[in-house]
């Protein structure tokens, strides 16, 4: 089969590799119908994730069709259309029983496209298939559910839920890329009073307004701290979400939050950020971090099926799976191409 293979920082190739096979009773083999590229894949290619070995097939988001299952798999069978979760989970360990699937103690967590071969290929082996695959409801297209593999549960769980968003709150989201937009979209489920989108790209800010933001701030030309303070009577936002993953934006978030507020870090960081405890300790600030657990995926899937959530707006570019090298070029230069998420169909 063909797969997108990582060959060290800055090096990748669409090449022929061996077909995956069943290795454990709880495995499933899935034919990839639709996949996408994540910002985390770009972090891997930059060398920010040294745990990814050379020779690894990248990707951790996809919709596909089951072609084979191990003897222990009960929830899916050959022929089922499934959403592949970015998180694998045994379902039995102490962390899985708490819904913290990202911290699975039995070889789960974020392993696809990281510690084992991933979804940017024609076929993929899915371990713990009963917990990592979700049947796609009848009548839904691949694009309607594709972004529930990662960005929507990530924005919702690590931004909205960890951030303790409540009805009437003022929310500021720093970074209007795919995950930041997912946080904006799903924040509306909790009834905030105002959602402020902050970014340096005007096109992304315009998209944020379409997906649920009430106010936009271009911090390339405006002082984000001053603007947020003006909007909040000098207090700051109740919850500020960091959705970029660089030191400057994390430090900006700590300036935007009000006393007693919450900074929810969503971004993947590849460099240290300064934590100004000398200014924060007296303000009773809560700071949370996290890798998505995907415990919200069934709820989000139900909302999509009922027409309450429409994630198709994230798709801006479409390619055949064999055009993945071109898709990477576009996605990695998103500012020039106005790219949000690329859709790769097999």
Altogether, the residues listed in the chain come to a count of 346
How does pLDDT run across 24-60, given as a tens digit for each residue? 999 999 999 999 999 999 989 999 899 999 999 999 9
How does pLDDT run across 162-220, given as a tens digit for each residue? 999 999 999 999 999 999 999 999 999 999 999 999 999 999 999 999 999 999 999 99
Q: Is the model's pLDDT at 290 over the cut of 90?
A: yes
Domain 152-288, second-level architecture: 3-Layer(aba) Sandwich (3.40)
Structure tokens of 51? 């745990």
Quote the pLDDT of residue 266.
97
Q: Is the model's pLDDT at 261 over the cut of 90?
A: yes
Quote the pLDDT of residue 336.
87
How does pLDDT run across 215-250, given as a tens digit for each residue? 999 999 999 999 999 999 999 999 999 999 999 999
Averaged pLDDT, 76-96: 98
Helices (H), 14-141: 39-46, 94-97, 129-132
**Strands (DSSP E) found in 17-108:** 28-35, 62-69, 81-84
CATH class of 2-150+293-345: alpha beta
Q: Where in the chain are the domains?
A: 2-150+293-345, 152-288
Mean pLDDT of the chain: 96
Quote the pLDDT of residue 271.
87
Contacts for 136 with CB less than 8 Å, ≥ 6 apart: 63, 81, 82, 83, 142, 145
> 266 near 172, Cβ under 8 Å?
no
> 234 near 257, Cβ under 8 Å?
no
State the pTM of this model. Answer: 0.95
């Amino acid at each position: 089969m063909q797969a997108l293979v990582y060959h060290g920082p800055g090096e990748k190739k669409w090449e022929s590799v061996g077909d995956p096979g069943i290795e454990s009773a709880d495995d499933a083999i899935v034919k990839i119908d639709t996949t996408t590229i994540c910002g985390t894949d770009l972090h891997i290619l930059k060398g920010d994730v040294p745990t990814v070995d050379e020779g690894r097939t990248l990707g951790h988001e996809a919709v596909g069709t089951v072609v084979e299952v191990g003897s222990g798999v009960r929830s899916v069978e050959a022929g089922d259309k499934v959403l592949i979760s970015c998180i694998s989970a045994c379902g039995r360990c102490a962390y899985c029983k708490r819904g913290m699937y990202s911290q699975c103690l039995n070889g789960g967590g974020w392993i696809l496209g990281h510690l084992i071969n991933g979804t940017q290929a024609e076929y993929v082996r899915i371990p713990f298939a009963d917990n990592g695959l979700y049947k796609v409801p009848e009548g839904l297209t691949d694009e309607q559910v594709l972004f529930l593999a990662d960005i929507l549960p990530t924005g919702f769980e690590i931004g909205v839920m960890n951030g303790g968003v409540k009805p009437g709150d003022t929310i500021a989201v720093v970074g209007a890329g795919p995950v930041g937009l997912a946080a904006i979209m799903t924040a509306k489920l909790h009834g905030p009073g105002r959602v402020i989108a902050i970014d340096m790209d005007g096109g992304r800010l315009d998209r944020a307004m379409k997906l649920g933001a009430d106010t936009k701030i271009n911090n390339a030309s405006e002082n984000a701290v001053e603007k947020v303070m003006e909007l909040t009577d000098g207090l700051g936002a109740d919850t500020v979400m960091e959705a970029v993953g660089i030191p400057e934006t994390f430090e900006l978030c700590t300036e935007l939050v009000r006393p007693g507020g919450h900074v929810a870090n969503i971004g993947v960081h590849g460099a240290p950020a300064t934590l100004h405890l000398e200014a924060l300790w007296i303000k009773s600030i809560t700071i949370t971090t996290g890798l998505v657990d995907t415990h919200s995926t069934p709820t989000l899937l139900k909302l999509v099926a009922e027409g309450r959530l429409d994630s198709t707006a994230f798709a801006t570019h479409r390619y055949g799976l064999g055009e993945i090298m071109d898709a990477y070029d576009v996605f990695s230069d998103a500012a020039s191409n106005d790219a949000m998420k690329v859709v790769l169909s097999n």
